[in-house]
Amino acid sequence: MRVLLFICSFWFMTAWVQAAPEQQRADWAAVFDQHQASGTLVVLDQRGQQDQLWVHNPQRAQQRFSPASTFKIPHALFALEAGVVRDEFQIFVWDGVERSFAAHNQDQDLRSSMRNSTVWVYEQFAGLIGEQQARQYLQYSSYGNADPSTEQGPYWIDGALAISAHEQIEFLQRLYSNLLPFRLEHQRLVKDILIVEAGRDWILRAKTGWQGQYGWWVGWVEWPQGPVFFALNIDTPNRLDDLPKLEAIGRDILRSIQALPDNQ
């Protein structure tokens, strides 16, 4: 019965996601140039009667990259579905290993591990879920190339798993509408822990990711009129020094289309 549910959900979510006609935004190149960055941005604006799909650098938007820590979004779902984590209150005890990011060197729960992008927590999830189950979840979710194999290191950073900016948007659409093949309460919980900030009539849910050579910022802004999804991917030749550019570019462009208030 559970397998049938997954199959039906997979068919429905694949059929449901419809792409609006793509419009290239050459004017967004100025924002990337201002921040001395090279990359792509896909925005799907569903606030009007007709969806607007805007793209900077369409060729790169089709190219698959490692999802890095943006994979924590589906990975949290996998862990909840597999029973590896009970809820947002379960504590994961720090192993005492000093890591380069200070926020990683302490006990975590699901919310803090998402906010702090705590890799060691998700490495535990991966070990408990196993490659075979992860592959099934990836296939059910239609997530990128759905390949969790790796020779060394986390498969979402150093392994074969890869996803394009367009595919990030499609996954986020399904999560927003609770159309992923996972329990409704799990999808709602993951969306809750993705909240970055909010105003009186809007909510920003987002996640960054960094592979070393490139970085991501993906998510959506909820408005009463509808959501605005985004997937930004840039090269990071200066490594950590380039990471602030992710949100800077994304916020500049989201503000330019009134998807974020001017003071955000």
State pLDDT tens for residues 2-48: 444 444 444 444 444 546 789 999 999 999 999 999 999 999 999 98
Residue 50 lies in a domain: yes
CB 230 within 8 A of CB 220: yes
From start to end of the chain, where are the E strands? 22-24, 39-45, 52-56, 195-198, 203-210, 214-223, 226-235
**Whose structure tokens read 């419009």?**
23
Only one residue has tokens 């208030």, namely 261
CB 42 within 8 A of CB 165: yes
Predicted confidence (pLDDT) per residue in 193-235, tens digit:
999 999 999 999 999 999 999 999 999 999 999 999 999 999 9
Examine residue 264 and state whether it is found in any structural domain, yes or no.
Answer: no
Active-site option among 69, 113, 117, 141: 69
Rounded Cα gap, residues 223 and 114, in angstroms? 23
Q: How many domains does one find in the chain?
A: 1
Contacts of 247 (CB under 8 A, 6+ apart): 208, 217
Q: Quick one: tokens of 136?
A: 């099934």
pLDDT one-digit tens code per residue, 39-94: 999 999 999 889 999 999 999 999 999 999 999 999 999 999 999 999 999 999 99
> What does the pLDDT average to over 171-187?
98
Specify if 29 maps to a domain: yes
Adjacent-strand bridge partners of 209 = 216
Per-residue pLDDT at 101 exceeds 90: no
- Find residue 22's DSSP bridge partners: 53
Look up the domain containing 73 and give its range.
Answer: 2-256
Q: Does the annotation mark 177 as catalytic?
A: no
Mean pLDDT of the chain: 93
Query: Does residue 58 sit within a domain?
Result: yes
Q: Within a domain: residue 261?
A: no
* Contact yes or no for 164/54 (Cβ under 8 A): no
| 179 assigned to some structural domain | yes
Q: Is residue 250 part of a domain?
A: yes
Query: What pLDDT is stored for residue 177 in this prediction?
Result: 98
CA dist., res. 196 & res. 247, Å (int): 12
The CATH number of whichever domain residue 199 belongs to comes to 3.40.710.10
